[in-house]
Chains A and B, each alone.
Chain A
Amino acid sequence: MTFVHPWMLLGALAALIPLLIHLFDRRRPRPHPFGAISFVLRSQRRTASRLRLKRLVLYTLRTIILVALPVALARPELKRSAQAATIARGPAATSIILDASMSMRYQDGGTAFFERGRQQARDALRELLPDEPANVLICGPGVIPPPAASFNRGRLRELIDSAKPTFGVADLNRCLDLAAQSLEENPMPGKRLVLISDLAAHALHLNLPPPTVQKANGQRLRPEVVIRDAAGGKLWPNRAVVDLKVEPAVQLGPKSFQFTFTVRNFSPEPVHDLEALLKISGQVVAKGFLDIPAHGASQKTLSYHFSSGGVFAGEVTISGDSLMADDQRSFVVSVPKEVRALIINGEPSAVRYRDEAFFVEAALGAPGSPVRETTKDAEAAFHDAFDQYDLVLLLNVTAPGPDVSRRLIDFVQRGGGLFISLGDHVEPELYNKQLFELLPLPLRMVKTAAEADEPDADRKAAKLAKISVDHPIFSPFTGPAREGLMSARFYKYMLLEAGSAGGSAKGTEVLATFEDGAPAVAIARRGQGRVVLYTSTVDRDWSDFPIRTSFLPLIQRFSAFLAGSLEEREEIKAVVGNVVALSAPGMAGMVTARAPSGGMLPVRAQDDGRFVIGPIEEPGVHQVQDSSGRPVPELSFAAVLDPSESDLARIRPEELTAYFGQGAMKDSGPDGKQRHLPFWSWLIVAAALAFFFEGVLLRK
């Protein structure tokens, strides 16, 4: 226990007054001859024991009054008992650090930890001695160093009053370091850090060095650390949606998605029949229940079939608890639109597997594929209006005439997709002549690596050597999936004119090459459309690739890319507290971003044409608008919370003491609901009660 005004304790000597009066009072009672002395004697005998007790109680009450008042005026402080040595050094420059992390949003009986912490910060500010300068650091994501400690209490109080809890992670180690550094310039020898936090273990890394203050001579000293526990010293239960994966549900058909989410239980009690809801555009579309073991996690998958394509926002929610922010996880899903494809079969055959389009039809018509394909031979197809399709596939087709070529070029220029696979019917010269404007690279000649019927054809056949997995088309082909691609054998393939692009070199990209470096897949942008050139056949004439497992997904990726639905919705991973970079090709001017609560987020344009948005301040679906203020659904994204903030596991007191040293102290506070009365107030109450009861006893 320490005292703000220790000299007031001298007043406690007044407690000796009753004793001294008793010992030294030599007043002689007035003698009085009395006739009825027998009754006086009897009365005295009757009341002697009661009077003795009364005198004892009176003496005690008077002593309490005379001790309690001066001790109360001396302003004792129990909570600084562990810091007596520091106090003895005199007043200290103080930095008050208020944890504003997401976990401080936890509600205890209707009061958030943060509100309790705010009150504790006000108390800490009020309890400062008049000659103690101070500053305040609100510790959340993106914390900035506090200003030097000052005596402007009003400004600090405003700062505390206006502080808000964030949805991000607080790095208490960094905040303590910044606070300690802010005190280094202060000439006052005493330094004090007041940390107000829920003391969640994830926020303070005890393996990092504790905060120190560097003195002018370079010596580093550990400041006094006062810890005020906003969580009331208890371990609070919590459960949270910590992960969500949104994937197409191929088995349920096109435009079906499955939402697999993980719910973690951070409490020592298991959770049964926890309700989980899947909401799309604010409507509950699926519901499920989870059982989660204590300190465990459980996964659940809910599915939904979208009736149309487009970009949809939604969320997965679980039954709310005292920390509601992490009871839901938002998402933005891009449901592919239906793709109309015209397959122009250059080598139809009555034998199905010999048909040029057999494998491509099988790939595009697979369950879950958004492609609605139409297959025609070249003669019939060239009479069609290409504009009624999103995608045209030329499969080993003889080079079209000038009119058809012109219509094809116009089709692509206006945004259509063109897939060209080669074969025996393709004459390089004619192709180069008629479709020069479209080809990513001009065709040169057919190279035969091996004849398919040779005994050692497999050994001689060419294989893919390099693929650009960075490109959306090939991005899934990593790991085992890559093996399925690389093991394909190519007996023949068309060589391309290296380095001399077709109609326009700009926008041409070779995504896969054979072992000899010849391009296997080349893509190009032509006008608003795209062209993919595959230099072998899509039947088994030149390659066994069509019977490889990687053929189907690759053909689907080609069609999606050409239809513009592959990269139109890149998965955007945004975590609260971080920034997010968006690619917005073709968008002119600056974009703006709006948070779920309506606030605008800072946006910076990068040299590479991307936009950096953030830091993100809250979870949920963020809308992006173009320079004219129109929403761009394809760029909207869902920000998620860092799951570490959901774990309220606490740092043990002994760990805190070991980390900060004996100077640290916990103050669990008055169960958080009310501001606790300082000890000296209770002394005043005790003195008042003693005074009251003394009066009552005297009247008796």
Chain B
Amino acid sequence: MELLNAQTLAKLAGVKLRARAVVDGVLSGLHKSPHQGQSVEFAEHKEYAPGDEIRHLDWKAFGKFDKYYIKRFEHETNLHAVLVIDGSASMGYRTGPLSKLDVAKVLAGALAYLLVRQQDAAGLTIVTGETSRDLPARAAAGHLRLVLDDLESVSPQGTTDLFRAADHLAEKISRRSLVILFSDLFDDREEALKRILQLRARKNDVAVFQILDPAELTFPFDDPTLFLSMEDERQIEVNPREIKQSYLEEIGGFLNSVRASCGEADVDYELVRGDDSLDAVLLRFLARRQERRR
């Protein structure tokens, strides 16, 4: 399978195309998977009544009992998924062709496509600074277009506020849902991530895609640089070579703590680099979830 890298995706205009491309890649991968495929499962028999689907008649049962029974099926899942996009200004950072927000949008679009395709409901919540915008979860095929349009319209702004995002979700989600968060998690408050993870304690299934730019992971700067905050007025002039080691230790510690927190809260965690192949990321994510289900 040829995986899609960031450069290839960047050539495609818009979330729809990018998401579709990723989904194609994912589906191509799924067909080859021995664990793939989900369908409806037999649930119970009921006596036939006019108006029932003739094709669901159980002819074997008719042969045994001489009565018409209709086979009733139940979908394996009846998923209600909410895709949460962190639209803060820091998500606009990029050193490659795609910003972190672009990556988040592509991943969210692809997942929405997959959810709707298997008749799950997919909703969308976009958190940007002080404001949040919600698109309720629907399983209808026409709803996908609304999701993708909404994703298309997101632009980075404001600060990262996971507290507010968590509160907003807790308020909006009324039934057991799959909450998928796309964020860099750059919220200086230590309790912010835990607030998100507490959604898991409320019987929700939670997955976190932490999206970081390669430069944020490797700090590849050499010359003296004036670093400017993308969300507020902070700035600092440093010689990157002098603090690189310390920075890598800091960011490494942060990632370890996020990973550990997610593990403790039984939350799926996926670290995504801006230059990762996103279909591979999704495949990895889906495979891990399939593993968990079994």
Binding site for B on A (CB under 8 A): 27-44, 46-47, 51, 54
Contact = CB atoms under 8 A, between A and B. Distances in A.
A27 B216 contact: no
Given A39-B254, A41-B236, A43-B247, A34 B230 contact: yes
B229 A37 contact: yes
Nearest to A48: B243
Nearest to B252: A39
Contacts of B61: none
Of the candidates A33, A34, A39, A43, the one having the most CB atoms from chain B within 10 angstroms of its own CB is A34
A51 B239 CA distance: 10
A40 B238 contact: yes
B146 to A, nearest CB: 29
B226 A35 contact: no
Interface in B249-269: 249-251, 254
Interface stretch (B52-60, B191-199, B217-225): B217-225
Nearest to B99: A35
B226 A31 contact: yes
A39 B91 CA distance: 16
A28 B237 CA distance: 10
Contact of B250 (A27, A34, A42): A42
25 contacts: A27-B224, A30-B226, A31-B235, A32-B226, A33-B93, A33-B227, A34-B216, A34-B227, A34-B229, A35-B230, A36-B90, A36-B216, A37-B227, A37-B230, A39-B254, A40-B238, A40-B247, A41-B234, A41-B236, A42-B250, A43-B243, A43-B250, A44-B243, A46-B246, A47-B242
Given A29-B237, A33-B93, A39 B228 contact: no
Of the candidates B226, B229, B234, B243, the one having the most CB atoms from chain A within 10 angstroms of its own CB is B243
A366 to B, nearest CB: 107
Nearest to A38: B188
A44 B238 contact: yes
Contacts of A47: 242-243, 246
A36 B228 contact: no
B93 A35 contact: yes
B213 interface: yes
A119 B254 CA distance: 68
A51 B221 CA distance: 18
B242 A51 contact: yes
Nearest to B244: A43
Contacts of A54: 242
Interface bracket on B? 20 to 34
Contacts of A32: 221, 225-228
A612 to B, nearest CB: 88
Contact of A35 (B90, B235, B246): B90
Nearest to B227: A34
A42 B224 CA distance: 17
Of the candidates B186, B212, B227, B254, the one having the most CB atoms from chain A within 10 angstroms of its own CB is B227
Given A43-B246, A47-B243, A47-B246, A33 B228 contact: yes
Contacts of B228: 31-34, 37
Of the candidates A30, A34, A35, the one having the most CB atoms from chain B within 10 angstroms of its own CB is A35
Contacts of B242: 47, 51, 54
B161 interface: no
B243 A40 contact: yes
B100 interface: yes
A40 B212 CA distance: 15
A39 B255 CA distance: 12
B120 interface: no
Nearest to B184: A35
Contacts of B243: 40, 43-44, 47, 51
Contacts of A34: 93, 215-216, 227-230
A36 B225 contact: no
Contacts of A33: 93, 227-230
B20 to A, nearest CB: 28
A35 B100 contact: yes
Contact of B251 (A30, A39, A41, A44): A39
Contact of A29 (B224, B246, B249, B254): B224
A29 B226 CA distance: 6
A39 B100 contact: no
Contacts of A46: 246, 250
A635 to B, nearest CB: 92
Nearest to B238: A44
A29 B186 CA distance: 25
Interface string B49-85: 0000000000000000000000000000000000000
B236 A35 contact: no
Contact of A38 (B186, B224, B226): B186
**Nearest 7 A/B pairs, CB to CB:** A35-B93, A35-B90, A43-B246, A29-B224, A43-B247, A43-B243, A39-B250
Contacts of B100: 35
Of the candidates B184, B215, B237, B247, the one having the most CB atoms from chain A within 10 angstroms of its own CB is B247
Given A29-B237, A41-B236, A35 B224 contact: no
A616 to B, nearest CB: 79
Nearest to A27: B224
A35 B225 contact: no
Contacts of B238: 40, 44
Contact of B216 (A28, A35, A42): A35
Contacts of B91: 35
B230 to A, nearest CB: 5
Contacts of B223: 29-30
B93 A40 contact: no
Nearest to A46: B246
B211 to A, nearest CB: 10
Contacts of B247: 39-40, 43
Nearest to B91: A35
Given A30-B223, A51-B242, 12 more contacts: A27-B224, A28-B226, A29-B226, A32-B227, A34-B93, A34-B227, A34-B228, A34-B229, A35-B91, A36-B216, A37-B236, A38-B188
A502 B47 CA distance: 190
A29 B223 CA distance: 8
B186 A36 contact: yes
Contacts of B90: 35-36
A38 B228 CA distance: 10
Nearest to A30: B225
A24 to B, nearest CB: 15
Nearest to A36: B216
A54 to B, nearest CB: 8
Of the candidates A28, A36, A43, the one having the most CB atoms from chain B within 10 angstroms of its own CB is A36
A36 B236 contact: no
A47 B247 CA distance: 10
A41 B243 CA distance: 10
B221 A35 contact: no
B213 A35 contact: yes
A188 to B, nearest CB: 58
A31 to B, nearest CB: 4
B246 to A, nearest CB: 4
Nearest to A40: B227
A521 to B, nearest CB: 113
Contacts of A30: 223-226
Contacts of B249: 43
A40 B234 CA distance: 11
A40 B216 CA distance: 10
Contacts of B93: 33-35
Interface string B126-154: 00000000000000000000000000000
Contacts of B235: 31, 37
B249 to A, nearest CB: 8
A37 B186 CA distance: 9
Contacts of A38: 186, 188
